[in-house]
Amino acid sequence: MKIIFNQKCIEENQLVINYTENNDFSGDFVNGFCWLFQNKLLYWEYVYFQLMASMRKMRIDIPLAFTPELFEDQIKILSEKLNTTEGRVKITIYRNIQNHPPSFIIQILPHKNFFITTENEVDVYKEILIYPNLLSDLLIYQPLNSIAEQYARENELQDVILLNSEKRIARSVLGNIFLIQDNMIVSPPTTEGAIQSVLKKNYILFLREKTNYIFKEAPISPFEAQSADEFFILSDENGLLPVTRLRKKVFKKDQTRLLTKKFIGYSLE
């Protein structure tokens, strides 16, 4: 598959990175994700500014050339090379050694339905907790994600709920958590350990502008999750995953499905 590496379109297997550099081998990088629908980049400005903000927090130098137009043009070149108008765009920017400017890689990942229709079982992972801090809400390498993801595989789960230091829900491995109870939708804020998310920010705007639901960001205990009517996970990389089972509790997904359909229409306006 073709990718963009520092404004050059190459085959993925041609990418050679010096293993001594501070990149994937040390987790010294930031990620940004954007959905390409009908040849349109959804919420591109939000994605770009969040990516730059993440670089500042990680103290990765931001070259003057790193403009939104540069990345947008590179994504367009790659989409044309791949002959695709839909997919998940992943931008990875990593720090180089010896005062060289950072490098970037752009990938258009295989198209995945935004709404994941499979049965999705989750559980609560309690072995390692999230301690909210300056970096805990960024799309960067988080060792906890890798360990919890392995726990999910071993237990044949699609995802796991991660708790913060107060034993409240922070997020899941894949993304941010939303609960639907009657006419209210609740999601933990970043102060609880949630991820800074372009999709979440715009999903909240959608809920407040286009629906009759009452939305609030508030702390959530694991026990509250089991009493919800519906439960879903919103991920900048993976889309929307409706949770169908948490331990013995089985959740419906009718409201989640309807909201997702309306949100996609709202995003394409």
Domain that holds residue 210: 121-268
In this structure, the answer to whether residues 104 and 130 fall within a common structural domain is no
pLDDT tens per residue across span 20-79:
554 556 778 999 999 999 899 999 999 999 999 999 999 999 999 999 999 999 999 999
* pLDDT band with cut points at 50, 70 and 90 for residue 97: confident
Mean pLDDT over each residue of the chain, to the nearest integer: 92
Check if the beta carbon of residue 114 is closer than 8 Å to that of residue 267: no
Q: Please state the domain count of the chain.
A: 2
In a domain, 80, yes or no: yes
Helices (H) and strands (E) counted in the chain, each on its own, are: 6, 16
Neighbours of 17 (CB within 10 A): 14
- CATH number, position 162: 3.20.10.10
What pLDDT is recorded for position 38?
A: 87
In a domain, 115, yes or no: no
Range 239-248 average pLDDT? 94
In a domain, 246, yes or no: yes
| Sequence-separated (6 or more) residues with CB below 8 Å from residue 57 | 134, 135, 138
In a domain, 187, yes or no: yes
Under DSSP, is residue 1 helix (H, G, I), strand (E, B) or coil?
coil
- CATH number, position 83: 3.30.470.10
What pLDDT is recorded for position 23?
A: 55
In this structure, the answer to whether residues 88 and 175 fall within a common structural domain is no
**CA–CA distance, 28 with 31 (Å, rounded to integer):** 10
In a domain, 114, yes or no: no
**Residue 99: is its pLDDT beyond 80?**
no
What pLDDT is recorded for position 217?
A: 97
pTM summary value: 0.93
